[in-house]
Chains A and B, each alone.
Chain A
């Protein structure tokens, strides 16, 4: 009897609460971030608690599979509401009309103002003057070096190399074949990552993607190839992904490496020596500061059931307060109006923040993957000695030319 009346009470309460507590709409979100300290986790929790209209339903999709998973979703017609995409591939998706145009929503938004964003990250979301993506974070490459090894070899760790020549001299001094130590490490793998690491050198030399057959490009690639030939960098660079380059650095097999800020949590945990960051060196005489721009963009696939809710979450995550949390996992804010006060790894933060100013976006170009592949092949040909750098690059230029003739950069 008592039981029944309780049920009645509960039922009555439910009936009263019903109209108020309508089922929240689910927003499916795909992202590749596995570190629990990533800002996305705090953001999802805060967003879900801040309102009752929408609920984020996150799913982790490993970074390398994100493109193919999204393609499958598009092909089968059931897409997630929100995806974080690596920024150079966004143009491939937006140019083919597979993403929701966010231009009108952004023009009404009070948080997302195009002019507060760094140019590079913002450009990655544009296609034909329409906005298809909002940058979530930004990253770039800087030089990471082992200060203990500098001291051991009589180099001043307070004066990291500033030019290509100084980089080469330092690397020569630091290499120690008897101990399996290379002077310098980078990733020249046959994948987008390799191009990401090569472009800073190309631009520092004064080269450009649409002028790969020019002598500047050859200088840049020769600089890399010679380091491998002379044993200053490992021949394995052509098979090492970026995290593996960092592994060789942490294991003490490389004294200096190209390194992105996302590696900082790992460096802090696993590197048993004093490591520091420095701006990428420039080429004396040219003095062009340059690095690559990486990062993730928020996109809403076309056909998303809850595009409005997805955009609400993008706005929520673009708030400087949330973006401030990004640095905890080495994610820089893509906005100029966010400065992390009292950051973790202050020395590294200063360097990456400064380097970001000279970071250049890849593309945006719908056929960026094809351009990238041509560069990857040239890199590998020159480094393995299959072809001289200038011939390899001339071949790449020949492949890229018709692509750029159709759609210029």
Chain B
């Protein structure tokens, strides 16, 4: 009797574990292996390659562009998380109000999130063009700036530009997740609070925000993970330039592997990016565990 159900149990257990080992574990292990080897076009088909210890990691840490790009990545991800969650929350609250067309327009906002990142990148490159871009046109027409801003060709502005574009691109995703969490807050709480004389600010502060806390944390983790993978949008807008000013880790790792053919160094960079994402993913799993039904 105890034999048969546990056999089935092992089958069900084995399926996801095999999947994880095959499609997640193997690439990670393979990447780690490549990061301690000298890998070039000639030996990429082989498994046994010259072992170089931590040389690739030393090269990466000493590389000027890596240091700059690591800082870029943290700034890019940080700004994206704060802005996407913040604006997402504001927009979700706005559409939670009862007015005609609210649901429709909320759905319409999702359109930008459904576009391919390369298309969005090309679009923003156009918007941010110095001479004929609409961003400078509007700013100058409103007399907010005298000389045109070099959105993508000024090293001190480029990171801001790609960040803005990515916030626009990713915000609807946060918004829709937060909107879903909003609908789960029982209406009675608000009614009771109103009867007790709580204003809209107090209701937001004492009811909405605490109820949304787990959802917001989860969204923040997801946005971090998504933004850590940002590649195509930046690739289309600036290719990481000028002077790596708008470059991020995944793109730099790609450039080292597939443009310089230095796969070992590219893999070592990938390991750094992996460590960051892994840390955030752990946090995400923890918040999911602690997530309780709203209030």
Interfacial chain B residues near A182, Cβ < 8 Å:
131
Q: Does B150 make an interface contact (CB < 8 A)? A: yes
Residues of A within 8 A of B262 (CB): 370
15 residue pairs from A and B, CB less than 8 Å apart: A71-B41, A71-B44, A71-B261, A96-B42, A190-B239, A190-B241, A190-B243, A234-B153, A235-B154, A238-B241, A251-B132, A369-B261, A370-B260, A384-B242, A386-B243
Which residue of the partner chain, among B40, B242, B259, contacts A96 with CB atoms under 8 Å? Answer: B40
Q: In the complex, which of the residues B40, B45, B131, B238 contacts A234, with contact meaning CB atoms closer than 8 Å?
A: B131
Stretch at the interface among A148-156, A306-314, A373-381: A373-381
CA distance A191 to B247 in the complex (A): 13
Complex CA–CA separation, A246 to B238 (angstroms): 17
Closest to B65 in A: A377
Pairwise interchain contact B150-A191, C-beta atoms closer than 8 A: no
Whole-angstrom CA separation of A251 from B126 in the bound complex: 13
- Please give me the residue from chain B that is nearest to A92 by CB atom: B261
Q: Among B41, B129, B152, find the residue whose CB has the most chain A CB atoms closer than 10 A.
A: B41
Whether the Cβ atoms of A75 and B154 lie closer than 8 Å is no
Chain A residues whose C-beta falls within 8 Å of the C-beta of B244 in the assembled complex: 190
Contact between chains at A236 and B153 (CB < 8 Å): yes
Interface string of B136-159 (1 = CB under 8 A from A): 000000000000001011110000
Whether a CB of chain A sits under 8 angstroms from the CB of B287 is: no
Nearest first, the 4 closest Cβ-Cβ pairs linking A and B are A96-B42, A190-B241, A96-B41, A68-B258
Name which of B132, B152, B243, B260 has the most chain A CB atoms within 10 A of its CB. Answer: B243
User: Are A236 and B259 touching (Cβ within 8 A)?
Assistant: no
Q: Which residues of the other chain, B, contact A96 by a CB distance below 8 angstroms?
A: 40-43, 261
Residues in B with CB closer than 8 Å to A369 are 259-261
State whether the Cβ of A74 lies closer than 8 Å to any Cβ in chain B: yes
Bound complex: CA of A370 vs CA of B257, how far in Å? 11
Instruction: Indicate whether A236 sits within 8 Å of B129 (C-beta atoms), given known contacts A189-B239, A384-B243.
Output: yes
Q: Is B172 an interface residue (CB 8 A)?
A: no
Q: A235-B130, A239-B153 are in contact. Are A377 and B243 (CB under 8 A)?
A: yes
Given A71-B44, A386-B155: A189 and B260 within 8 A (CB)? no
Task: Say whether A234 contacts B130, CB under 8 Å.
Answer: yes
- What residues of chain A lie closer than 8 Å to B260, measured between beta carbons? 369-370, 373
Query: A96-B40, A236-B150 in contact; A74/B45 too (CB < 8 A)?
Result: yes
Bound-state Cα–Cα, A235 to B149, Å: 10
One digit per residue, 1 when the CB lies within 8 angstroms of any chain A CB and 0 when it does not, for chain B 170-187 equals 000000000000000000
**B259 contacts A380, C-beta separation under 8 Å:** no
Q: Which of B129, B132, B152, B241 has the most CB of A within 10 A?
A: B241
Chain A, 344-393, CB within 8 A of any chain B CB: 369-370, 373, 377, 380-381, 383-384, 386
Question: Contact between A67 and B258 (Cβ–Cβ < 8 Å)?
Answer: yes
**A236 lies within 8 A of B243 (CB):** no
Contact check, B152 vs A239: say whether CB atoms are below 8 A apart. yes
CA–CA, A71 to B43, complex, Å? 11
Which chain B residue has the least Cβ–Cβ distance from A303?
B45
A97 touches B131 (CB 8 A): no
Q: How many residues of B contact A (CB 8 A)?
A: 27
Which residue from chain B places its CB closest to the CB of A76 in the assembled complex?
B45
Q: A180-B132, A253-B132, A386-B155 are in contact. Are A239 and B241 (CB under 8 A)?
A: yes
A58 to chain B, nearest CB (A): 23
Q: Is the CB–CB distance between B132 and A189 below 8 Å?
A: no
Q: A96-B261, A235-B153 known; 14 other A-B pairs, CB under 8 Å?
A: A67-B259, A74-B45, A96-B40, A96-B41, A98-B41, A189-B241, A190-B242, A239-B242, A251-B132, A369-B260, A373-B260, A377-B243, A384-B153, A386-B155
Question: Residues of B contacting A198 with CB < 8 Å?
Answer: none
Binding site secondary structure of chain A = helix
* B240 interface residue (CB < 8 Å to A): yes
| Contact string against B for A residues 232-244, beta-carbon threshold 8 Å, 1 for contact and 0 otherwise | 0011111100000
Flag if B42 contacts A384 (CB, 8 Å): no
Shortest distance between the CB of A2 and any CB in chain B (Å): 55
Residue of chain A at shortest CB distance from B40: A96
Which B241-273 residues have C-beta < 8 A from chain A? Answer: 241-244, 258-262
Q: Is A343 an interface residue (CB 8 A)?
A: no
Interface contact B131-A380, CB-CB below 8 Å: no
Q: Which of B181-195 contact A (CB under 8 A)?
A: none
| B41 & A93 in contact (Cβ 8 Å cutoff) | yes
Bound: A68/B266 CA distance, A: 13
Q: Which of B216-241 contact A (CB under 8 A)?
A: 238-241
CB-CB under 8 A from B40, the residues of chain A are 96
What sequence of 0s and 1s flags, for each residue 176-213 of chain A, a beta carbon within 8 Å of any chain B beta carbon? Answer: 00001010000001110000000000000000000000
- Residues of A with C-beta under 8 A to B131: 180, 182, 234, 236, 248, 253
B180 to chain A, nearest CB (A): 37
Contact of B155 among A68, A180, A189, A384 (CB under 8 A): A384
Chain B, residue nearest A251 (CB) = B132
Report how far A386 CA is from B45 CA in the complex, Å: 41
**Nearest B residue to A377 by beta-carbon distance?**
B243
CB distance from A257 to the nearest CB of B (A): 14
Which residue of chain A is the closest to B247 with respect to CB atoms? A190
Contact with A along B31-51 (1 / 0, CB 8 A): 000000000111111000000
Q: Is A77 an interface residue (CB 8 A)?
A: yes
Question: Contact: A77 with B153, CB < 8 Å?
Answer: no
Smallest CB gap from A97: residue in B: B42
Nearest CB in chain B to that of A89: its residue: B261
- What distance in Å separates the Cβ of A255 from its nearest Cβ neighbour in chain B? 13
Q: Which residues of A contact B132 (CB under 8 A)?
A: 180, 251, 253
Please tell me if the beta carbons of B258 and A239 are within 8 angstroms of each other in the complex.
no
Within the complex, the shortest CB–CB distance from A168 to chain B, in Å, comes to 21
Q: In the complex, are the beta carbons of A236 and B41 less than 8 A apart? A: no
Type the 1/0 row for B86-127, where 1 means its CB is closer than 8 Å to any CB of A: 000000000000000000000000000000000000000000
Contacts A190-B240, A369-B260; is A238 near B42 (CB within 8 Å)?
A: no
